[in-house]
Structure 1
Amino acid sequence: MDDLRKRFGQLLAVHRRRAGLTQSQLAEAADISVDMVTKIETGTSGARFPVIEKLARALNADPAEFFTPDLPTKGRDNPALMEMKVMLSGLDEKDLLWVKSIIDAALNQKK
């Protein structure tokens, strides 16, 4: 559990720095104490789900990104891509393959 806390804290710090925020600014944006941010980032304290959600909102990040560095973040903030994901999420496998074939054909024509 200590390893998970440390990894979580390190990834939180990476996201905070990437956002150009100090610990104090993140604490204010997430409505938690600076002491709590420090403890979480150093791995001396864990964070409960409500705090994780506040931190994710403050950093405009998916909470899962605090647990692993392997999640893709490119395109996450692209409204058109998000809208397409929502539209496609209700399709079954057969329909998804059909849509994929159309997209493949459209992209091949663009080349």
Structure 2
Amino acid sequence: MTPIQFILIIGFLFTGLFYFVRLRNRIADVLLLFILIAAAVLFILFPEWTSLLANKLGVGRGTDLVLYICIVLFYFVILKLYARMRKLEQQITDLIRKQAMDEVEKIMKK
């Protein structure tokens, strides 16, 4: 197993674990965003670093490494948005159910 395969598998496992645990830590989100921005700035300023890192991880080109990382990050974002959408759906369902029960109680009191 090449290092990039190990890293990508860990990335997807982390994403899946995050989804199941539904970590809602704003500090972790800000920290992750800061790390991603810092890495992006470094790779923009020193593009040869992506090729060096890619070669050490067993990937042919730095561009391919960036693509692989983006795939993992997009998957993470999609799952995070899906979890948020499910939570909102549950809140709407609970609200409508409560409203319906209140309406029934009003009718029964008349």
TM-score band w.r.t. shorter chain? under 0.3
Select the structure that is richer in helix: 2
Which structure has the higher relative contact order (CA within 8 Å, separation 6+)?
A: 2
Pick the structure with greater CA Rg.
2
**TM-score (norm: length of structure 1):** 0.25
